[in-house]
């Protein structure tokens, strides 16, 4: 009993000690009450929410109706939750941080209005100290509204519209943060409060400029110690500096420190994604007040209009796919486990870049890209067309600042995206706004490129950013797949000093629809055979690969995703251009085509495995492999060995017997045998 009491006392002492130290984070993701609709008094403390739905965060109310091809609910929804904050924290500054809320969020605490955030994809934070009850019950109420601009001028925000479902809700996590009076700023557009700028990076040395935003919310002038340290992967300090600082009461200031690292270990993409970490600590009379850790990946890069992308002085091929935050039956309320699953697909296929479309994504995805060496293009949701009001422009500026400041320190991010397909919908001339946003991005961060994705490449807005991506769908929405190369060559010759890449290209496909020698289908029709998508990507990738001036390519899309207005393909409500199904479970054949081209790991794959019922006895069999030679067997009988220089092995006019047929492909790679098999019925 004595031992138990001693352990309890020590535990309480440790808890008190922790609370007295640097900031404390308290998750607020479980046991929320939710209801769709406009409840005018739902912010009140004693409002009866007993009949509301029980939910956990992340949550969206459009996870089902936003993917069924009908209409989906766009309007207000309310979230309520009760929680307590330990009395021991009553000397702290209390913040609440939302990972995102689409599109407008009004936050109330204990019946009082806290603040409003407009914009659906960035984090936001409020100081709630003066509204908090310590040691007893608190009630938070959040009204989230995704009504959209068609029904309310209040929603005159980017995006005005887009080809994806505008899921409403609290679709990222929420947490409380308890900080000491003197702390690293939390309210600078919800940024981490420290900004790491790297310059003059080479294999010999790197200069690092560190800015820390400090805040003193006490009524006294404070003398503190600011200590910043850079650690290598093993945890060894490679550089550290401290300085004494005086901060006036109830004020904030920026403080800079400069570092040099000799012979730095560079962040080299997929080859070697080496990360340092920067730890910034502040001390008040040798007592740790606050501490923030951020990643540091040292790299230098450039884009050449003729030769493409260079990382750390060497040519580096950027190829991958675009990505939405979406999963079947989850909508935009995906989990970090889902993000890790998506990253595993990127690594498996051999991607080197991801375009995070068409908005800021959750922090875990950027962290995973840092860790695994995936280069990132990330963008704001300025899509299709603009509005000329000053409020729209100011909100675009806000969303761009949030994107850059919240993600400034991620080494994987090399490109800030300003817009996607402006001009796709008739509207005002966007050039003036695009120029203003481009200038803002360069002022916020001069070390990275600005970019944009344009489907109309001759519009003036396409010539504002540093580099450009083209969204071109030859072979799907217009023309033939083979015409892509001719178009790109013409554009490159007319604009030789303009670096261009392919930010979107693709074709729809259903894993349930199959066709021999497929013809180009109607894009808005119900028939999208998988074989056409496969043929499309074989042709288009060869056009891209043959042109070194294409500085990057990201196919559209990594995964099928919800776009509820679509009425096409096997399933209404889905954009089916993914090379993986919306449930993230099935890789389409086009996936394996890119894997055999991008990932040097040995592989062999028989295409058309899902085409299990055949109407003709003579078929062509196609296999992907990075072997020099492959063999085919039908029902145990050898059909022969063939060679290939483009990873495609095709046996023409192969005879099937009536009934079930066992197909097996075999290849020798580096002295080991690899095989694949399937069954087809004639």
127 is written with which tokens?
Answer: 């100081």
Specify whether the CB–CB gap between 503 and 355 falls below 8 A.
yes
The DSSP secondary-structure symbol of 682 reads -
In angstroms, the CA 317 to CA 241 distance is 38
> Could you report how far apart the first and last alpha carbons of the chain are, in Å?
77
Domain that holds residue 659: 618-681
Mean pLDDT of 587-594: 98
Give the CATH number for residue 239.
Answer: 2.60.40.10
**What is the reported pLDDT for 17?**
43
In angstroms, the CA 350 to CA 322 distance is 14
- Assess whether 257 and 200 both reside in one domain: yes
**Nearest to residue 474, comparing CAs of 463, 462, 486?**
486
- Assess whether 62 and 139 both reside in one domain: yes
Q: Answer whether residue 632 is part of any domain.
A: yes
Instruction: Look at residues 146, 180, 214 and tell me which one is the last residue of a structural domain.
Output: 180
HSE of 606, CA atoms in CB hemisphere, 13 A: 24
- Assess whether 201 and 337 both reside in one domain: no
Helices 390-407 and 363-372: angle between axes, nearest 10 degrees: 40
Q: Give the count of beta carbons closer than 10 Å to the beta carbon of residue 546.
A: 11
Specify whether the CB–CB gap between 298 and 265 falls below 8 A.
yes
Q: Answer whether residue 527 is part of any domain.
A: no
Confidence of residue 5 (pLDDT cuts 50, 70, 90): very low
Instruction: Look at residues 239, 269, 296 and tell me which one is the last residue of a structural domain.
Output: 296
- Assess whether 397 and 366 both reside in one domain: yes
Q: Which of 342, 421, 538, 543 is catalytic?
A: 421
Q: Helix, strand, coil: what percent of the chain each, to 5?
A: 20, 40, 45
In angstroms, the CA 315 to CA 304 distance is 10
Give per-residue pLDDT as tens, 301-312. Answer: 999 999 999 999
3-state secondary structure of 593: helix
- Assess whether 421 and 467 both reside in one domain: yes
- Assess whether 429 and 470 both reside in one domain: yes
- Assess whether 571 and 622 both reside in one domain: no
285 is written with which tokens?
Answer: 């009379």
Task: Order across the sheet with 222-231: list the strands.
Answer: 237-247, 222-231, 276-284, 287-296
Give the CATH number for residue 45.
Answer: 2.60.120.260
**What is the reported pLDDT for 2?**
40
Instruction: Count up the domains in the chain and report the number.
Output: 4
- Assess whether 224 and 263 both reside in one domain: yes
**What is the reported pLDDT for 425?**
77
Confidence of residue 1 (pLDDT cuts 50, 70, 90): very low
In angstroms, the CA 108 to CA 146 distance is 18
In angstroms, the CA 302 to CA 297 distance is 16
Give per-residue pLDDT as tens, 22-59. Answer: 899 999 999 999 999 999 899 999 999 999 999 999 99
Give per-residue pLDDT as tens, 374-395. Answer: 999 999 999 999 999 999 999 9
Q: Answer whether residue 153 is part of any domain.
A: yes
- Assess whether 176 and 227 both reside in one domain: no
Average pLDDT over all residues of the chain: 94
3-state secondary structure of 604: strand
Confidence of residue 7 (pLDDT cuts 50, 70, 90): very low
Phi first, then psi: what are they for 672, rounded to 5°?
A: -120, 150
- Assess whether 291 and 402 both reside in one domain: no
In angstroms, the CA 541 to CA 488 distance is 13
Q: Answer whether residue 645 is part of any domain.
A: yes
Q: Answer whether residue 70 is part of any domain.
A: yes
Q: Answer whether residue 185 is part of any domain.
A: no
Residue 629 pLDDT > 80: yes
- Assess whether 365 and 414 both reside in one domain: yes
Confidence of residue 21 (pLDDT cuts 50, 70, 90): low
Confidence of residue 480 (pLDDT cuts 50, 70, 90): very high
- Assess whether 446 and 501 both reside in one domain: yes
**CA angle, 71 as apex, 70 and 74 as ends, to 5°?**
155
Residue 655 pLDDT > 70: yes
Give per-residue pLDDT as tens, 501-553. Answer: 999 999 999 999 999 999 999 999 999 999 999 999 999 999 999 999 999 99
The DSSP secondary-structure symbol of 232 reads -
- Among 151-165, 249-263, 537-551, the range scoring the smallest mean pLDDT is 151-165
Specify whether the CB–CB gap between 391 and 154 falls below 8 A.
no
Task: Give the CA distances from residue 408 to residues 34, 299, 412, 445, in Å, rounded to whole numbers and listed in that order.
Answer: 34, 14, 10, 8
Give per-residue pLDDT as tens, 322-366. Answer: 999 999 999 999 999 999 999 999 999 999 999 999 999 999 999
Give the CATH number for residue 453.
Answer: 3.20.20.80
Confidence of residue 148 (pLDDT cuts 50, 70, 90): confident
Percentage of the chain lying above the pLDDT 90 cut: 93
Q: Answer whether residue 13 is part of any domain.
A: no
pTM of this structure: 0.94
Mean pLDDT of 236-249: 95
Q: Where are the alpha helices (DSSP H) in 479-605?
A: 483-494, 530-545, 589-598
Q: Answer whether residue 646 is part of any domain.
A: yes
Instruction: Look at residues 180, 212, 244 and tell me which one is the last residue of a structural domain.
Output: 180
Whether 402 is a known active-site residue: answer no
- Per the document, the length of the chain is 682
């Amino acid at each position: 009993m004595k031992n138990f009491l001693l352990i309890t006392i020590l535990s309480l002492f440790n808890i008190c000690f922790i609370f007295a130290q640097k900031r404390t984070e308290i998750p607020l993701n479980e046991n929320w009450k939710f209801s769709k609709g406009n409840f005018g008094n739902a912010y009140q403390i004693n409002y009866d929410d007993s009949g509301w739905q029980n939910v956990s965060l992340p949550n969206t109310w459009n996870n089902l109706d936003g993917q069924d091809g009908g209409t989906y609910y766009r309007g207000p929804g309310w979230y309520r939750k009760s929680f307590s904050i330990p009395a021991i924290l009553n000397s702290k500054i209390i913040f609440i941080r939302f990972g995102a809320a689409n599109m407008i969020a009004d936050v109330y605490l204990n019946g009082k209005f806290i603040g409003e955030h407009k914009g659906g994809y960035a984090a936001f934070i409020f100081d709630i100290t003066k509204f908090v009850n310590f040691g007893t019950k608190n009630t938070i109420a959040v009204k989230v509204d995704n009504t959209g601009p068609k029904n309310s001028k209040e929603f005159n925000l980017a995006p005005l519209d887009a080809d994806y479902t505008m899921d409403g809700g609290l679709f990222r996590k929420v947490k409380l943060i308890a900080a000491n009076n003197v702390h690293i700023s939390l309210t600078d557009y919800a940024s981490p409060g420290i900004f790491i700028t790297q310059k003059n990076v080479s294999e010999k040395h790197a200069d690092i400029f560190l800015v820390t935003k400090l805040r003193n919310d006490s009524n006294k002038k404070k003398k503190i110690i600011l200590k910043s340290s850079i650690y290598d992967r093993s945890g060894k300090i490679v550089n550290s500096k401290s300085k004494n600082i005086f901060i006036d009461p109830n004020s904030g200031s920026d403080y800079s420190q400069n570092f040099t690292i000799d012979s730095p270990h560079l962040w080299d993409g997929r080859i070697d994604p080496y990360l340092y970490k920067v730890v910034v600590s502040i001390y008040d009379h040798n007592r740790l007040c606050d501490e923030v850790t951020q990643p540091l990946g040292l790299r230098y890069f450039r884009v050449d209009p003729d030769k493409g992308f260079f990382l750390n002085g060497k040519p580096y091929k950027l190829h991958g796919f675009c990505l939405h935050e979406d999963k079947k039956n989850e909508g935009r309320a995906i989990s970090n486990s889902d993000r890790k699953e998506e990253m595993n697909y990127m690594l498996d296929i051999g991607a080197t870049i991801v375009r995070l479309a068409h908005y800021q994504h959750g922090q875990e995805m950027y962290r995973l890209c840092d860790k695994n060496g995936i280069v990132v293009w990330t963008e704001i949701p300025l899509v299709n067309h603009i509005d000329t009001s000053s409020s729209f422009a100011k909100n675009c500026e806000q969303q761009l600042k949030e994107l850059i400041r919240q993600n400034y320190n991620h080494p994987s991010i090399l490109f800030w995206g300003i817009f996607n397909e402006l001009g796709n919908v008739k509207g005002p001339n966007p050039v003036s706004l695009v120029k203003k946003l481009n200038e803002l991005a360069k002022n916020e961060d001069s070390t990275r490129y600005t970019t944009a994705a344009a489907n109309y490449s001759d519009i003036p807005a396409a010539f504002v950013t540093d580099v450009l991506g083209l969204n071109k769908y030859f072979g799907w929405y217009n023309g033939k797949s083979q015409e892509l190369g001719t178009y790109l060559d013409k554009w490159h010759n007319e604009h030789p000093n303009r670096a261009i890449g392919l930010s979107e290209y693709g074709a729809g496909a259903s894993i349930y629809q199959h066709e021999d020698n497929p013809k180009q289908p109607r894009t808005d029709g119900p028939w999208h055979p998988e074989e056409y998508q496969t043929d499309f990507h074989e042709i288009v990738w060869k056009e891209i690969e043959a042109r070194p001036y294409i500085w990057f390519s990201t196919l559209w899309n990594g995964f099928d995703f919800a776009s509820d207005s679509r009425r096409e393909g096997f399933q209404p409500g889905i954009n089916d251009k993914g090379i993986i199904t919306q449930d993230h479970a099935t890789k389409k054949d086009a996936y394996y085509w890119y894997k055999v081209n991008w990932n040097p790991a040995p592989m062999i794959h028989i295409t058309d495995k899902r085409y299990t019922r055949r109407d003709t006895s003579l078929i062509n069999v196609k296999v992907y492999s990075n072997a020099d030679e492959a063999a085919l067997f039908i029902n145990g009988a050898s059909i022969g060995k063939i060679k290939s220089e483009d990873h495609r092995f095709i046996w023409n006019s192969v005879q099937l017997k009536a009934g079930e047929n066992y197909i097996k492909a075999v290849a020798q790679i580096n002295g080991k045998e690899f095989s694949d098999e399937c069954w087809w019925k004639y």
